Amino acid sequence: MGRLRIKRIGVMGGTFDPIHNGHLVTAEEAWKQFNLDQVLFVPSGSPPHKEDRKSLDPESRYLMAVIATAANPHFKVSRMEIDRPGPSYTIDTVHELHRVYGRNTEVFFITGADAILEILTWKEPEKVLREAIFIAATRPGYDLRRLEESLPESEKKRHATDPRVLVMEIPALAISSTDIRKRVKEGRAITYLVPESVAKFIEKSGFYI
């Protein structure tokens, strides 16, 4: 028993500049709803789509993710993308996960519905969908039509019987890193938006001022 069971690894990629409770609630909910063994947070190296704004250095973003997840036994943070030179693409990360965890692993990419729309308009979405299942987090009441319309043709055909894009409703969605950076800059509190340890670390390091 157990030896042949397929391992279910959730992957939450992001800039995490900084990591916040929206990320953590989403990861925990995916872990529960989809019976995942583990959720791996993968902070990006140099993000391909965010070149307009210089983000905090990868080590600091990685550290905040470690601090935020340290007490949770099924959360882990990966250095995979920050140690890889150049921009990272989802497909490379999926391949590396299969290399690290073995073929007997199903990879579940957890993203906000906004991010999944971006991924599905990248190159080779069909290939990515073959190798990973997507969990799209939405607010309750979110209009799913845009998401459904942007699925590649192969996924539209397969969707009814064997969906590779799953939808998960979560309530805590209004939190964003952009808003947190703005609050810090304006001297406003970020209490309850990020874990207390992360808030303290941001303050001590003088980030986002």
Does the protein bind ligand ATP through residue 169 (CB under 6 A)? Answer: no
Which of residues 9, 10, 11, 17 is near ligand ATP by CB under 6 A? Answer: 17
Which pair of structure tokens corresponds to residue 151?
């699925």
Could you tell me if 119 and 110 are in contact, meaning their C-beta atoms sit under 8 angstroms apart? no
User: Looking at 77-85, 98-106, 148-156, 171-179, which segment touches ligand ATP (CB under 6 A)?
Assistant: 171-179
183: left (phi over 0), alpha (psi -120 to 50) or beta: alpha
* Nearer CB in complex with ligand ATP: 10/22: 22
Query: CA separation (Å) from 175 to 18, 26, 103, 137?
Result: 11, 11, 35, 13
Return the residues of window 178-207 that contact ligand ATP according to CB under 6 A. 178
User: Looking at 19-27, 62-70, 84-92, 191-199, which segment touches ligand ATP (CB under 6 A)?
Assistant: 19-27
Q: What is the 3-state secondary structure (H, E, C) of 77-97?
A: ECCCCCCCCCCCCHHHHHHHH
* Nearer CB in complex with ligand ATP: 152/193: 193
Could you tell me if 134 and 166 are in contact, meaning their C-beta atoms sit under 8 angstroms apart? yes
Does the protein bind ligand ATP through residue 177 (CB under 6 A)? Answer: yes
Residues 86 and 205: their CA atoms lie apart, in Å, by: 26
Give me the least distance between CB of 173 and ligand ATP, in Å please. 4
User: Looking at 63-71, 90-98, 112-120, 148-156, which segment touches ligand ATP (CB under 6 A)?
Assistant: 112-120
Does the protein bind ligand ATP through residue 15 (CB under 6 A)? Answer: yes
Could you tell me if 190 and 183 are in contact, meaning their C-beta atoms sit under 8 angstroms apart? yes
**Residue ranges binding ligand ATP (CB under 6 A):** 14-17, 22-23, 26, 111-112, 114-115, 137, 173, 175-178
